[in-house]
Structure 1
């Protein structure tokens, strides 16, 4: 019997190249008033995909900026017509957003109209999430074999709405159920070549990943009870603050460990399995170190800008506003724009890529030799190519 071989996923991307790439993309996006972002995101994805290896072979991203741009235009036109029809219906019901409020009743009607307009977009948010993932799968290859995903966006929409409502009415108690079943719906429709991915496991197993959320919530409630019992907010407030911080970090812990659990319970066909062991502490450290470095850059820029501002103020007070030179306002504006570009590139290089690298490096593929038997699948159409995700501003992620 031949030995079952396991392959570790590797990530070879470096901070310098992706910083330079992200800065270029941000600058070109600014110059083109946002149009280049479709091509820019494609370039960044190509870099990240090609930096990820399994068993020595790199992933390939085959999407194009043009199809993303065209998909965005199609989505914008559709949403404009859809929201226009919604507004017509609201106007017919006397709930127009465009009329001037003259009484409290008019204000109430406008508030109802605003909420109904927002709710009408919710199905397309979930639609965009599914279609964006399907597009990324369709444009990903490994060893020349395509990934793919079955149609099923509207099925995901209704399930997502139902799960979110259940999670809301149970005050978050059914969050693991929502996490598991929504991921299972998408995973079970994913393919690599002619082999299907399946998601196994139990949603109740995810409650272990919620332990820090429960601890944080308990500290918040304990702090509130202490404040009521003592008639003073000081000790209870301090405990409540600690609980709030613990509660928020608990969500990070939940996301990291639920990803590991779900990844470790996926299979490709009957022979290929996966295991994943990302560490919440490592992810948190990446955010803290990256945030501190970004904070240093902001502090230095703020200090320099403060000195320049003081000089300008002094020159104006002395009746000599031209003393600082006519180019100073231009230089300040250029410096501010450059800062925004640098910060965006730093976020990608210091936070986004290291987090991706950590998730990738803790993933293993078991029985990797079975992948040799997988055959090519037919190409999927690009459809809206993440157009709805971009149009609804939820397509910023890599």
Structure 2
């Protein structure tokens, strides 16, 4: 009797992160100090160092990724982008001065222009980072039009206020489909299979809680005024809702981001290679609470520093503390401004370190730890394709303060 040979199913690729948290924290701290010394220009090399650290310590099936971008590329891209953005600001300012005489000018055209420009920057920045990422010697690459993506993003965004944000899941799905349809790993075509309806079902309750929490304080008291007996109850309900907003917002946002990350990762495909995420809903809000806690602590230290600085200046100059901040007080005002400026730079420096440690390093580790790759056999014999992209998009992203991996 012939026995049929059954091929066992391929095992999923193990995704692992081998970096040490202390090493990343030292990298972020040292980079922030160098940013301070170089008046912010070290940010391009710091971004490169951070990506190289995260990429090189992230492995799939035993092989780590490689990031080949350079800080010099980002600096040149930023300067080139600045040459594009600066004349726009100047032209808008000059036109605004003339149009102000007729009160016929508003900031909306500038906001709309830079929103579209920002979306263009997001697409081109992702294209740059993708073409600087390689695995097993084969590079990722990306095609497509940044302007076409920006137009799609702008049209979808117009629908957000009209639907009170309910259209957001379909917007995210449509934009991600465009990006992934133009993404490649060697000769493997990328695609995105996540559906907006899936994200909508997972996040609907979060939207309902947010809307109810915002609307209750706005409507409770005006409605209760028609029935004076209900006014005390309306005030209690309104106060409770107002108290819930600052306390509950980090939880709701953390849960939403975890749901969104899981949905996004699980929708990524390259040929027959697919990703799956098992990120729990509560995996991220702890990170946001830690950032809030550090922000409050650093803010308290900064306020204490300002008080001690004012006391020291008042003691040395014989000026009452109340008069130090009086306009025109050169004797005490100039020293306190210098000390306040130094303290403010330290405040920003500390917050940058906190943000990078928790919302870059720790977030990356949690996402990687919850991800599994299937269909690794399809990535065994991949031919190299594609060309390197310029860093102009990344420079635009820096110039417009667009943040992201």
TM-score tier, shorter chain, comes to 0.7 to 0.9
State whether residues 140 and 184 of structure 2, in contact with CA within 8 Å, keep that contact through their aligned partners in structure 1: yes
Partner of 2:117: 124
User: What is the distance in 1 between the residues matched to 2:36 and 2:148?
Assistant: 37
- 5 Å-filtered alignment, 1:55-134, equals 55-83=61-89, 96-99=95-98, 106=102, 108-110=103-105, 112=106, 114-134=107-127
Q: 1:200 deviation in Å?
A: 1.4
Change (3 A) 1:370 1:340: same
User: What is the distance in 1 between the residues matched to 2:250 and 2:336?
Assistant: 43
Q: 1:144 deviation in Å?
A: 1.4
Deviates more, 1:294-303 or 1:8-17: 294-303
Helix, strand or coil for the counterpart of 1:13? Answer: coil
Q: 1:292 deviation in Å?
A: 2.4
Helix, strand or coil for the counterpart of 1:171? Answer: coil
Partner of 1:291: 292
Q: 1:363 deviation in Å?
A: 0.8
State whether residues 250 and 285 of structure 2, in contact with CA within 8 Å, keep that contact through their aligned partners in structure 1: no
Helix, strand or coil for the counterpart of 1:278? Answer: coil
Change (3 A) 1:371 1:284: same
Q: C-alpha deviations, 1:340-395, integer Å up to 9, x for none?
A: 4333223322343111111111111013233212222233232525121112121x
Q: 1:124 deviation in Å?
A: 0.8
User: What is the distance in 1 between the residues matched to 2:115 and 2:179?
Assistant: 19
- Unpaired segments of 5 or more residues in structure 2? 1-6, 225-229, 321-334
State whether residues 194 and 377 of structure 1, in contact with CA within 8 Å, keep that contact through their aligned partners in structure 2: yes
Q: 1:160 deviation in Å?
A: 0.5
State whether residues 9 and 360 of structure 1, in contact with CA within 8 Å, keep that contact through their aligned partners in structure 2: yes
Output the TM-score relative to the length of structure 1: 0.83
User: What is the distance in 2 between the residues matched to 1:127 and 1:28?
Assistant: 30
Q: 1:283 deviation in Å?
A: 0.7
User: What is the distance in 2 between the residues matched to 1:241 and 1:318?
Assistant: 42
Q: C-alpha deviations, 1:245-298, integer Å up to 9, x for none?
A: 5466434423321221232122220x2221112234221112213432454455
State whether residues 215 and 243 of structure 1, in contact with CA within 8 Å, keep that contact through their aligned partners in structure 2: no
Output the TM-score relative to the length of structure 2: 0.82
State whether residues 16 and 58 of structure 2, in contact with CA within 8 Å, keep that contact through their aligned partners in structure 1: yes
Task: Kindly indicate whether residue 26 of structure 2 is the aligned counterpart of residue 41 of structure 1.
Answer: no
Q: 1:306 deviation in Å?
A: 4.2
Helix, strand or coil for the counterpart of 1:231? Answer: helix
How many aligned positions are there?
376
Deviates more, 1:254-263 or 1:217-226: 217-226
User: What is the distance in 2 between the residues matched to 1:83 and 1:173?
Assistant: 34
Task: Kindly indicate whether residue 357 of structure 2 is the aligned counterpart of residue 355 of structure 1.
Answer: no
State whether residues 258 and 283 of structure 2, in contact with CA within 8 Å, keep that contact through their aligned partners in structure 1: no
State whether residues 29 and 37 of structure 1, in contact with CA within 8 Å, keep that contact through their aligned partners in structure 2: yes
Q: C-alpha deviations, 1:180-221, integer Å up to 9, x for none?
A: 111111112111111011111421121122311212312443
State whether residues 36 and 345 of structure 2, in contact with CA within 8 Å, keep that contact through their aligned partners in structure 1: no
- Unpaired segments of 5 or more residues in structure 1? 320-326
